Structure 1
Amino acid sequence: MTAAHEVRAYPFSEPNRLELDPMYAALRAEEPMSRVQLPIGEPAWLATRYHDVRTVLADPRFSRAMARTRDQPRTHSTENLDDGLVGMDAPDHARLRKLVAKAFTARRVELMRSDTRRIVEGLADTMAERGGPFEMVDDFAITVPVTVISEMLGVPEADRAKLRGWSEAMVSTTALPYEEIESNAKELFAYIGSLIAERRRAPTDDLLGALVKTRDEDGDRLSEQELVMNVTGGLLITGTETTASQIPNFLYALLTHRDQWELLCENPQLVPQAVEELVRWIPLNYSAMFARYALEDVQFGDVTVRKGEPVLGAVASANRDADVFENPDALDLTRAHNPHIGFGHGPHHCLGAQLARMELQSVLSVLVERFPNLDFVDGPDGVVWKQGMLVRGPKSLRVVW
């Protein structure tokens, strides 16, 4: 390193609702490349400014694959951050992403919009029939992405409850014992493997059938392990847990910024713009993850990251950088300039970003149209938050209208 830096314990604090720790703002102003020590692993650099984070995420001078050979910084021993696309560099990453993307196209996602709207409208019907109070996490938010991704993959309806349980277990850090997480992972991998075998015996035109066809027919094909890992990690887990958390996160953010909720109800055409702003503003992961290792010395201002040192890119902090976003701490659904990196940046940009956008747009559109008087049952303090998970989100959020 260029000079001595204080090594701070990281994360800086326990997650508190959707609040972003003020230390990020202080570091962006005074020490944009700082030294941190996570609970497990070697010390790392933490990038907090927008352009520095983008560099860490996209510059080929940084490697994700090297993390497999190092004691990478992480929050919990059960975090398995190296499997699938997220743990690869080019050219392997580019090869696999290209093959998976062939079966996970924007066109296929757009064709799901009407079905997604049908799913959300059905849940809204249930809300209206039951009346309030209504539980938005278990009875709404989780159901949307689980149903959508299950229909895309062709998962039988009878198996979707199990799928939900496995997915939740896979993103646990301290909420479940390690043995239980490992057991759930084995069951999920075995289940996906059985679905793949079924598609091979009887081809289908769903997403999983298309992936199996790609794996079996493409000259530069996926290995069987790569196929299972990318379906489970790249599509299923990230395609359910993050969206299932963001739906109640969106509601909490909007209902605690009542002027923005009312603005959206009065101007539903703002929904796509609102989704982008909410993704920017909400710190979904309570700490930076997925360390990249410098393949050579890299200069960031007056700091030199030496070859072999790990760097963490704080996406939530980057999305609050005043050099890029006007009044960055404000939730502003009319924000015109919004180049956020909430779905990542560079070669590891979220493969399911368009699916998440479509699902979140569908949910907001239905809720503002049908329940403009939506509000908390017990106020913001009545919301119960998840603990020991990789992503933030309410565990329980009850509403009335």
Structure 2
Amino acid sequence: MIEDTVARPPLGPPPVRFWPALDLKATEFDPVLEELMREGPVARIQLPHGEGWAWLVTRYEDVKAVTNDPRFSRAPVPGLAVTRLAPHFKPKPGSLAFAEPPDHNRLRRAIAPAFSARGVERLRERAREMLDGLVAKMLRDGPPADLVARVLGPFPTTVICELMGVPYADRERMSGWVHEILFPAKGAAVTGRAKDEMYAWFAREIAARTADPGDGEDILSLLGAAVAAGDISAEEAVGLVGPVQIGGEAVTNNCGNMLYLLLTRERLRERLCEEPELRPRALDELLRYIPHRSSVGLARIALEDVEIGGARIAAGDAVYVSYLAANRDPEVFPDPERIDFDRVSNPHVSFGHGPHFCTGALLARMEIELLVEVFLDRLPRLRLAVPAEEVPWRRSALIRGPEALPVTW
């Protein structure tokens, strides 16, 4: 819990621990993070890029407190050389990731209709049709197949492009940009160029829709209308839309992890086939259990002195939270290392917490539901085409997942 620094004398700072960018396989939990969790609720870390060190908060209640406390802000981060996992980042004005209230609320309102429960449900049937088409073509072509290439990759990309309003002719190019940004194995120059090209494309599209807003309900049309109304600037609209497009790729990897688990743990799959009413609770448990990203995400900066878990966080210090660690807190999730579909209370933070709670959480949940439903009901004989240990996993990736998922039936 967060307390005022006057409450009691803080403990001395822990040593700085270097946290390398590990290429982990399957759903293995990061061993460095596991050690840091054992050592105490607050640690100090140095990541592969940037400068200096940062605090790491791992306990569930502390993570929730930091992410909901205005004394910790992301707004100063772009101007600082904070230690970080990514080689570099070039946030644009308008990026929700670094905005704080009230600007954060103003920006988020511009696209909120697309991500509302009504907006997502309006897309469900179209998304189901797109998924059915991908699966049908894979089945027609016959086994074996790479489930990532044939279904898990194209489906979320198609859905987010549909919601975004990206024309069909540009969707393959958009997918390539997103892939180079999220999986920077080709180096910083390639990643930087992909970002520049993607944002330039968005700037042109938003400008066109600002000149002629129309009444479209896709995200680019909503942004064009918001710019035309003076609610946000054109620059903010471009900075807002990029991360939204990139975020759609996360479903590919999350579902790849989920299906890998269900393909390699037969009893879990059998239960979901035999007890379909269990599926909503099971999806929450899989979301809690799966370590969906590498290391940590974006830092926050302490705006004043604060005490967390006995450690004094000084004004100006960088602070990271680990949602992965929070999801394994035994005080909140008994026996956290076990996948338990009967877990009744599951307040996981896989979509974040506080003002920066994932904008696309409802959309991601809908896509995951459709993918798992198809996997269980239409592909009951699906199995891995290679031994589990031969499934290739993404390397040098910010978001973890299988690079390919070879299957047969």
Output the TM-score relative to the length of structure 2.
Answer: 0.92
Please tell me whether the aligned partners of residues 376 and 398 of structure 1 are also in contact (alpha carbons under 8 angstroms): yes
2:376 partner letter: V
Matches of 2:121 and 2:54, distance apart in 1: 40
| Structure 2 residue runs without a partner (length 5+) | 1-9
Is 2:134 the partner of 1:126? no
Amino acid at match of 1:133: P
1:329-377 Cα offsets, whole Å, 9 max, x none, are 1122332211000000000000000000000101111110011222111
Say if 1:201 and 1:303 are closer, same or farther in 2 by CA, change over 3 A: closer
2:153 to 119, 139, 142: 142
Question: TM-score, normalized by length of structure 1?
Answer: 0.93
Deviation at 1:392, TM superposition (A): 0.6
Task: Select 2:76's aligned residue among 66, 91, 95.
Answer: 66
Counterparts of 1:12 and 1:247, CA distance in 2 = 22
Deviations 1:115-151 (A, max 9, x none): 1111111122122212221111111111111111111
- Measured in 2, the distance between the counterparts of 1:216 and 1:64 equals 28
Deviation at 1:273, TM superposition (A): 2.2
Pairing partner for 2:245 from 202, 224, 236: 236
Partner of 1:169: 180
2:92/2:238 contact within 8 Å kept = no
Inter-CA distance 19–25: structure 2 relative to 1 (3 Å threshold): same
**Structure 2 match to 1:104:** 115
2:396 matched residue in structure 1:
388
Contact 2:114 2:120 in 1 (8 A): no
- The amino acid that maps onto 1:288 is V
From 192, 210, 224, the equivalent of 2:222 is: 210
**1:160 equivalent in structure 2:** 171
Superposed displacement of residue 98, structure 1: 2.4
**Aligned match of 1:92 in 98, 103, 116?**
103
Comparing 293-302 with 5-14, greater Cα deviation is found at 5-14
Corresponding residue for 2:338?
330
1:287 match: 295
Alpha-carbon displacement from aligned partner over 1:295-325 (angstroms, at most 9, x marks no partner): 1121123211111111110111110111001
Q: 1:201: Cα distance to partner?
A: 4.4
Q: Distance in 1 between matches of 2:200 and 2:35?
A: 46
In the alignment, residue 214 of structure 1 is paired with which amino acid?
A: A
What SS class does the counterpart of residue 407 from structure 2 fall into?
A: strand
Query: 8 Å contact 1:64–1:293 — kept in the other structure?
Result: yes
Structure 1: any 5+ residue segments left out of the alignment?
A: none
Describe the shift of the 1:103–1:12 C-alpha distance in structure 2 as closer, same or farther (beyond 3 A). Answer: closer
User: C-alpha distance in 2, partners of 1:39/1:326?
Assistant: 33
Counterpart of 1:10 in structure 2 is 19
Count residues with an aligned counterpart: 396
Alignment of 1:228-377 (within 5 A): 228-233=238-243, 235-239=244-248, 241-377=249-385
SS of equivalent to 1:18: coil
**Is this contact kept in 2: 1:295–1:308, CA < 8 A?**
yes
CA contact (8 A) 1:65 1:82 kept: no
Q: Secondary structure at the match of 1:335?
A: coil
What is the Cα-based RMSD across aligned positions, in Å?
A: 1.8
Counterpart for residue 53 of structure 1: 63
